[in-house]
Amino acid sequence: MIVKPSVAWLVGASSGIGQALAFALAEVGWKVAISARRIEPLQAMQARNPLLTPYPLDVTDVQSLHQAAAAITRELGDIELCVLNAGDYTPMPLADFDLTLFRKLCDVNYLGVVNGLDAILPLMLTRGRGQILLTASIAGYRGLPKSAPYSASKAAVISLAESLHLELKAKGVLLRVVNPGFVRSPLTDKNAFKMPFLMEVEGAAQAIMRDLPRQNFEIAFPKRFAYLMKALRILPYWLYFKLTKGTV
């Protein structure tokens, strides 16, 4: 889909996978617009690589996304790759059921992606080309105990991508979903349990980079963990709950 480095817009670039991917893209010649709420980490990234240009915004404010998209197009050129990666995570056992947390994670993880699409789709559809990556999670494959707000928000992103993929492909725009497993970051540092197949952010970024030229709908990693979780999706509920009750 993408044959040579051009202009990329990475939303959610200040840490974790987003930051590592921004540097990986810049290292091979991409001009990368980097967005997050706070300007300071974005400026620190730009100091390390001048191909990174900060455009701070809040994904819950759709107008700030539209303004950033217009500014990037004006200053850097047409956006050929857009990665909507902003996300948040907080574990939530039943004893800590919190409506505010549900709303917060929905606003950032799901509606933040919808806001990003509202900003980028008109630009790509007008040109009839472009690639969009939506960062969801392997945690969105099935509901996981103690992770209701996060799993639900990421499942929504997966369903959103599935729903839009064919319509956008017919218009020349490739919409794909990125489903990471456990990747070491400030968010996964909140987990108190041993995380299987834990990856470093650099490995996650390289997994995405390897798949950029391809047409496959999903980019999932690490592969073994993704296959395991996909297998759980086909199990009947009674067996799935039996296998996962030990996590409660």
Which residue type sits at 173?
V
C-alpha distances in angstroms, 99 versus 90, 96, 205? Answer: 13, 10, 33
Nearby residues of 181 by Cβ (< 8 Å), 6 or more positions away: 137, 138, 196, 197, 199, 220, 221, 222, 225, 226, 229
What does the CA dihedral 168, 117, 110, 45 come to, rounded to 10 degrees?
A: 120
Are 187 and 88 a contacting pair, CB within 8 Å?
A: yes
Task: Please confirm, yes or no, whether 55 is among the known catalytic residues.
Answer: no
C-alpha distances in angstroms, 171 versus 56, 126, 135, 174, 237? Answer: 29, 9, 22, 9, 38
Instruction: State the Cα–Cα distance between residues 73 and 71, nearest whole angstrom.
Output: 5
Instruction: State the Cα–Cα distance between residues 82 and 90, nearest whole angstrom.
Output: 26
Catalytic residue among 89, 110, 150, 227: 150
Q: Identify the CA nearest to 199 among candidates 188, 210, 214, 211.
A: 188
Instruction: Decide: residue 164, CB within 10 A, 0-12 exposed, 13-18 middle, 19+ buried.
Output: middle
CA atoms within 13 A on the CB side of 200: 2
Active-site annotation, residues: 150
